[in-house]
Amino acid sequence: MQVVALHEGVVVARSVKWQTTCTVLHDGDETFVVDSLVYQDELDALPGILAQAGWSLSGLLCTHGDFDHLLGRLAFPDAPLGVSETTAARLRAEPGDAQRHLRSFDEDDYVQRPRPLSLGQVQALPVPGRLELGGASELELVPADGHTQDGMAIWAPFAGVLCCGDYLSPVEIPWIQEQGSRDAYLATLERLRPYVEQATWVVPGHGTPLDPQRALAILREDVAYLEGLPDEANLPLARRDRRQREIHRENVQRGAPRGPGGDGP
């Protein structure tokens, strides 16, 4: 795990697994933890990172419902968990799905956990919307779907930090999952663009935090890739290893582009 401070109130930890990122946002007397780390020792280190800074947790936030972003409760079992309304609907529609994915991941890697993942009651946040942070600041919640059918990006103006979820990754090409949609993905990239342009840092769901120039370059590559699907998409130079070619094949197999929201239930 790697931990970096981007601002006096922003710390980003990055998992060894998939470079999944977990961002701590602090202002005034409030602290939110966005997304999660993956391995248990990484999760176990989180309360210490907050304690060292003298910050107490107000709640967990999650950019979308894929299991590797949802593991914050394994570090903070009693914390409230806030997600977008679309993610809350997905979690309701797929009860136990995140837990099943985690169990099968843990079995493959012989990972042991002190307790099973319990999502309990999740709080559905209106998106677009705002969330107060420590009295003087606000977080802006921005719809971000297309990778999956659900999700939000989180803009923290007090620090100029954008937590964008599974978009703008330097290590993963745009991945259109089963319920995702190419058109919705492209619309999300355009929605994120003005935030990226004014950001100091962009924190993707996978990979190292990016300065805005690099994030905009990735945005351009990703738009070109998505517009080329299914037949004429070229993988970005820095993202064409074996795993990325597999994801690309999956994107192509999804066939003709689908409208916003995909064709799922």
Chain residues in the site for Zn ion (CB under 5 A)? 66, 166, 205
Q: In whole angstroms, give the CA distance from residue 137 to residue 157.
A: 8
Coil vs helix vs strand at 5: strand
Smallest distance, Å, CB 63 to Zn ion? 8
Strand-pairing partners, residue 133, are: 137
In the sheet with 201-204, reading across from the earlier edge strand, the strands are 129-133, 137-143, 152-156, 161-165, 201-204
Residue 58 or 87 with smaller CB distance to Zn ion: 87
Q: In whole angstroms, give the CA distance from residue 209 to residue 156.
A: 14
Backbone phi, then psi, for 188, in 5-degree steps? -65, -40
Residue 30 or 166 with smaller CB distance to Zn ion: 166
Residue sitting closest to Zn ion (CB):
166
Smallest distance, Å, CB 34 to Zn ion? 13
Strand-pairing partners, residue 226, are: none
Residue 17 or 258 with smaller CB distance to Zn ion: 17
Residue 66 or 222 with smaller CB distance to Zn ion: 66
Residue 27 or 66 with smaller CB distance to Zn ion: 66
Smallest distance, Å, CB 69 to Zn ion? 6
Smallest distance, Å, CB 167 to Zn ion? 10
Smallest distance, Å, CB 231 to Zn ion? 26
> How far lies 163's CA from each of 38, 106, 201, in Å?
17, 26, 9
